[in-house]
Amino acid sequence: MATRKTGSKDRHVKASKPNCASIATICLSACVAFVCLATDVQAGGQPQSVAVSGASLELPDATDGAKNTDTGIALTTPGAVKHDPDAAGVSGDPAPTTESAAGTAATVDLARQVADNRLSINFVWTLLAGFLVMFMQAGFALVETGMCRAKNAAHIMAMNLMIYPLGMLGFWICGFAIMFGGLASAPVAIGWQSSLGHGLALLHFEHGVTVGGKFFGLWGGKGFFLNPSVFEPAIFCFFLFQMLFMDTAATIPTGAMAERWRFRNFLFYGFWIGMLPYAIFGNWVWGGGWLAHLGANFGLGHGHVDFAGSSVVHLCGGMIALAGAYVLGPRYGKYAPDGTPRPIPGHNVIYVILGTFILAFGWFGFNAGSSLSGANHRIAIIAVNTMLASASAAFTSCLVLYWKIGKPEPSLLCNGILAGLVAITAPCAFVTPLAAVIIGAVAGTIVIFSVLLFDTRFRIDDPAGAISVHGVNGAWGALCVGLFANGSYGAGWNGVHQLFKDGVVQVLCNDGTAETIAKYKSLLAAGWHDEGITGLFGKLFGAHFNDCSQLGAQVIGTLTCIVFVGTFAWLWFKLAKFVIPMRTNVEEELQGLDIPEMGAEAYPDYQLTDKSSPL
């Protein structure tokens, strides 16, 4: 097992009442995190010097606000090493001189103020986008509750409420450290600097293995409990934004497992998902793990790319939902003795439609906010692509519903819109509007067939259609990066530069050495174009070439999520039900879970007839 502590790549590659058991388990998890914490905290909060590709990087001191040397940005961190010694102008970074003239000093001071304002804009943008994502919890609660029966409304609302604090605490304990504790070792483009400042360089421990000279990151090791060694505004801003993404994945299974999941078992689950499955797979893609290195290590495009979470968030949540619904079993009376599915309509389609509007609104924060920069003009393209995909998905799902059942059932229309939003989440920054419409149109079609397939063929009872919306279309969205990306954005993503000239493609990976940087600059000076992420059909949408290898990376990442997260979740639910019973009994299910589980009804002033139940 190796521990990586670097700031850049160092490889060059070419071309209710909890029972005692639940309390003990949570305490055990906390103890494990404390053991990790013991290796995390740095004595006295002093900066450390770490070798970075032949250079020395003095890591930021989270306790010292006076060291702002040569960053051009007023941060509570010292200056970070640059991948390009001549790239002083990157991200507003001035090139201060030793001249003492008043004019020069004024220019440097102005540059610092401009850079500081730019950083502040990015902070505010990221936080506001996170607040929008948080509001999506209300949308999920309304959609799931409306699609289920009135007698379980309080129970479902309570699960959507409690997954927010439970997942947050799990992510704070160890999920964030596992996912992003090695962020500073993630491969980056030549000359790149963080939009949130150099404070993220504190997240510099990535654990993994080295095989054949290639490093495979597995999990991070810095930032447990947001301890004093990472007490830095940039990290806290990043934590808030990423925690809310985790919470989105965490709430997806509550829709698929609704109306029969015991609340105490659910509380147990809330900590688990915030601490382990989401964080581990997220590290592999967003935290500098092995999927991000597929490009540099094996020449597969830019590695597995997911701009805002089709695979990391939605496919991950969808696979957990599939495993949970399978282990939990269908609702009582859902299937006839011969296996024929019986419809169980939801009690409030108004909730479903209102929740869908809230989710569509919050998705702007989800996708455009993933730029982590209000100064990145790409956010306009991202927002428009997001809208167009949801629109085309709504239209095609409507057509399919007319064809399959004769009427556009409103809750399935809403699932169509959400499917389009899920599918565009990964490729939203890399595709044209036409491609976004195609992606959404396919998503709106397959979500209807998927809902029917799981209901009739596989007999997986999913009251909200969450597996089809998030799981199936999360996979579709991840693959779309490798199909439709047009090379206009993402140059140097995951440290891979694909340079194009006169029909020739030359791949250069950032290893941080002066030789690589000099070669990169000479190629640009000679007229080579640094192409962004390009898919199999990239040329149809304006790219200079097609890149089938990017699709290979997307397939590997998608299959990894399906196999790893699905298996891990299945094992979890199988074991957890022996600690705390997972399934409610038949009497409680027939009565409704509001009183037996929560002690309060959602609609106490109304006589509930429960006309939706098949029995």
Higher pLDDT, 55 or 96: 96
pLDDT value, residue 593 = 96
Task: Please check the confidence at residue 28 and state whether its pLDDT lies above 60.
Answer: no
Q: And the tokens for 323?
A: 């495993």
pLDDT value, residue 78 = 32
Q: And the tokens for 317?
A: 């949540």
Compute the mean pLDDT over every residue in the chain, rounded to the nearest whole number. 86
Given pLDDT bands bounded at 50, 70 and 90, which one contains residue 608? Answer: low
Q: Which of 98, 94, 119 is nearest to 107 (CA)?
A: 94
Given pLDDT bands bounded at 50, 70 and 90, which one contains residue 612? Answer: low
Report yes or no: 310 and 367 within 8 Å, Cβ to Cβ: no
Largest CA distance in the chain: 89
Torsion angle (degrees, nearest 10) of CA 18, 19, 23, 26: -70
pLDDT value, residue 306 = 98
Q: Which of 28, 92, 63 is nearest to 233 (CA)?
A: 63
Given pLDDT bands bounded at 50, 70 and 90, which one contains residue 126? Answer: very high
Residue 54 identity (one-letter amino acid): G
Q: Can you tell me which residue has the tokens 């051009």?
A: 72
Higher pLDDT, 67 or 322: 322
Q: How many other β-carbons are positioned within 10 Å of the β-carbon of residue 14?
A: 9
Report yes or no: 281 and 313 within 8 Å, Cβ to Cβ: no
Q: How many other β-carbons are positioned within 10 Å of the β-carbon of residue 262?
A: 22
Mean pLDDT, rounded, for 318-338 = 96
**What's the CA angle centered on 495, arms 9 and 13, to 5 degrees?**
70
Q: Which of 321, 367, 177, 298 is nearest to 557 (CA)?
A: 298
Higher pLDDT, 99 or 562: 562
Of 94-98, 323-327, 588-592, highest mean pLDDT: 323-327
Q: And the tokens for 384?
A: 């428009």
> d(Cα 342, Cα 348) in Å, to the nearest integer?
19
Beta bridge partners of 529: 500
> d(Cα 185, Cα 180) in Å, to the nearest integer?
10
Q: Provide the angle, in degrees to the nearest 10, between the axes of the packed helices 233-256 and 153-170.
A: 150
Residues 6+ apart with CB under 8 A from 399: none
Q: Can you tell me which residue has the tokens 């906010």?
A: 369
Question: Residues 211-261: pLDDT tens digits?
Answer: 999 999 999 999 999 999 999 999 999 999 999 999 999 999 999 999 999
**What's the CA angle centered on 320, arms 152 and 338, to 5 degrees?**
65
Given CA atoms 537, 542, 545, 551 in this order, what sign does their dihedral have?
Answer: negative
Residues 6+ apart with CB under 8 A from 69: 78, 79
Question: Residues 383-411: pLDDT tens digits?
Answer: 999 999 999 999 999 999 999 999 999 99
Question: Residues 165-190: pLDDT tens digits?
Answer: 999 999 999 999 999 999 998 999 99
> d(Cα 22, Cα 262) in Å, to the nearest integer?
14
Q: Which of 480, 401, 407 is nearest to 440 (CA)?
A: 480
Mean pLDDT, rounded, for 459-471 = 97
Residues 6+ apart with CB under 8 A from 516: 12, 190, 508, 509, 510
Q: And the tokens for 549?
A: 């290898």
pLDDT value, residue 44 = 33
> d(Cα 352, Cα 334) in Å, to the nearest integer?
21
Q: By CB neighbour count within 10 A (0-12 exposed, 13-18 middle, 19+ buried), where does 43 fall?
A: exposed
> d(Cα 401, Cα 417) in Å, to the nearest integer?
13
Alpha helix stretches (DSSP H) within 39-183: 102-146, 153-170, 176-180
Helix (H) or strand (E) holding 529: strand 529-531
Q: How many other β-carbons are positioned within 10 Å of the β-carbon of residue 398?
A: 17
The DSSP code sequence of 196-244 is T-GGGGG---EEEEEETTEEEEEEE-S-GGG-GGG--HHHHHHHHHHHH
Given pLDDT bands bounded at 50, 70 and 90, which one contains residue 572? Answer: very high
Task: Please check the confidence at residue 158 and state whether its pLDDT lies above 60.
Answer: yes
Question: Residues 36-55: pLDDT tens digits?
Answer: 444 454 333 333 333 333 33
Q: And the tokens for 585?
A: 């009994």
Q: Which of 480, 392, 495, 506 is nearest to 441 (CA)?
A: 392
